A and B are shown apart, each in its own frame.
Chain A
């Protein structure tokens, strides 16, 4: 079957797409909480160290490997790593680069749909009513566990999930250039404008200096705590969308002589602008101004979602034009979410297109079917802990595992000399040779240490479920079971998806090998291959 690969329509298109993938809820909700928790302004020291030694180099690694694999018509990790490493095991190891993002998509679309729902309630005024009645926390709690109803007695959260799901798949169904690139060219300016509007509103609020002082005054004593350095590295990892496989796939659609050094740096810088300047100023400083420093501990206990869905509507509710500000907030986050979620769908779609030689419609349909089934598990299993479990594997552990693997492949298997040359192909700037040392030694070792530290702190607690009460029960789709059994059920489902993916990889390579032999035989005989 004839198969042609797309390319990005413009250089700015791919930069915005990669930046859109990176800019998500974490920029506006997770970063400010981490910074305020771990030293305020002083948190920026380990944060920037990780940005320079981990974030930027690993982004270059992904862009380089992705563009290299794209030359061989491979757009997902199994094919790209197979082309780079040229060993049979590489394609199976690369399955993490398809499975990981797919796993994130399973729950992320549901979370993204809350933003659409809350944007809707901001417009209709229902959210403001809840704010005035002092019930916004219960409003959010009822919404996410499907107690709030909308048309046809359908739970509102399920309705908005299906709408968000349809939006995501409509975009990826249009293709890389017409769908993903076009959406990012619209969404990214919208995020910037709304972010700047909220930033100006925050900075002109009386008493904001107290909030900024809380956020930025350095607490150097925190820097002696290794956990602060670990958290800063983790934040860089999550915020730049590295180790997921999304950049790898996006870069595979970049043309051979395009400058990936500057493109990657620009995407990273755009993400940092959204995180440090916008994210670091909007949420926590405003919470301090409205709630006061004495209540900040209570706010912190609500976590990132509490801040985003409970605290911020209340804060905006106390300002002039509350509905408008609430809508701007949730639309901003929704756009940030949708540009990220389409990026985690694309690796799977590219895999089915490039390796299984399916047309886009078929590739999107298969990915959509899997995501719908598992997405509904996330919707109905949220209360039981399905989303937390998926997030641990997809949004935490596999990122670091795959990131470390990519860094090792680039530095020690692809070869740093070859990788350095490949990175600079078409580049308009020449990087300082010190970065070659960083790419060869510092980044892989940094990541291996990070991975070991992560396993040391989380292995017993999360993987062996030491923190779960064995007597705790949950209800999932009307069935009552122990929480431990439910978590193992979710793990079984995820394992089944991973096994199915690896079987598909086996079948694809076997079939492609037969096709290649048939092509060669037809060429030799001089007959057309039907």
Chain B
């Protein structure tokens, strides 16, 4: 959401031609952990039976009724 431009003074990362072993590790860990978490969550959510998802709401709390 933020609009402010980040400062550029720290921009001075090394400029290698290829991913180092560390780079591959962080890339695989970052993508792998996020991908696995997302897959687990959606599998869990979409795999649930309908009647397990939403229990009946007590009448005094069900404002749709």
Residues of A within 8 A of B (CB): 4-7, 11-12, 15, 24-26, 30, 33-34, 36-42, 44, 48, 71, 73, 104, 107-108, 111, 209-210, 212-214, 216-219, 222, 238, 241, 255-259, 262-263, 265-266, 269-270, 272-273, 276-277, 280, 293-294, 296-297, 300-306, 340, 387-388, 391-392, 395-396, 426, 428-429
Contacts and interface: CB of A to CB of B under 8 A. Distances in A.
Contact of B15 (A214, A272, A277, A305): A214
A38 B20 contact: no
A213 B61 contact: no
Contacts of B2: 26, 30, 238, 391, 395-396
B58 A388 contact: no
B31 to A, nearest CB: 6
Contact of B23 (A218, A257, A263, A387): A218
A213 B18 contact: yes
A265 B10 contact: no
7 contacts: A38-B10, A73-B63, A210-B16, A219-B13, A238-B2, A270-B41, A395-B3
Interface centre among A300, A305, A392, A426 (most CB of B within 10 A): A300
Given A276-B34, A297-B8, 19 more contacts: A4-B64, A24-B1, A37-B7, A44-B29, A104-B1, A209-B18, A213-B17, A214-B16, A219-B14, A238-B1, A255-B62, A256-B61, A266-B41, A272-B37, A273-B35, A276-B31, A277-B34, A296-B15, A304-B6
6 shortest A-B CB distances, which residue pairs? A41-B26, A303-B5, A257-B55, A293-B15, A266-B41, A217-B23
Contacts of A44: 26, 29-30
A262 B43 CA distance: 11
Contacts of B23: 40-41, 212-213, 216-218
Interface centre among A12, A15, A256, A263 (most CB of B within 10 A): A256
A18 to B, nearest CB: 12
A76 to B, nearest CB: 16
Interface residues of B, number: 51
Interface centre among B3, B24, B25 (most CB of A within 10 A): B3
A222 B14 CA distance: 12
Interface of B: 1-8, 10-20, 22-27, 29-31, 33-35, 37-38, 40-42, 44-46, 48, 52-58, 61-64
A293 B48 CA distance: 48
Interface centre among B4, B13, B26, B62 (most CB of A within 10 A): B13
Contacts of B19: 209, 212-213, 216-217
A259 B17 contact: no
Contacts of A42: 26
A300 B24 CA distance: 24
User: Main secondary structure on chain A at its contact with chain B?
Assistant: helix
Contacts of B30: 41, 44, 216, 276-277, 280
A304 B5 contact: yes
B13 A270 contact: no
B13 A214 contact: yes
A281 B37 CA distance: 19
Nearest to A425: B55
A270 B40 CA distance: 11
A300 B26 contact: no
A5 to B, nearest CB: 4
A210 B18 contact: yes
Given A12-B45, A293-B15, A428-B52, A269 B26 contact: no
A426 B55 CA distance: 8
A272 B38 contact: yes
B1 A41 contact: no
A40 B52 CA distance: 42
Contacts of B8: 37, 297, 300-301, 303
Contacts of A277: 30-31, 34-35
Contacts of A428: 44, 48, 52
A113 to B, nearest CB: 14
Nearest to A304: B5
A11 B55 CA distance: 12
A429 B52 CA distance: 12
Contact of A213 (B1, B20, B38, B42): B20
Given A44-B30, A391-B4, A392-B4, A269 B38 contact: yes
A297 B11 contact: yes
Contacts of B53: 11, 258-259
B34 A273 contact: yes
Contacts of A340: 1
Contacts of A71: 61
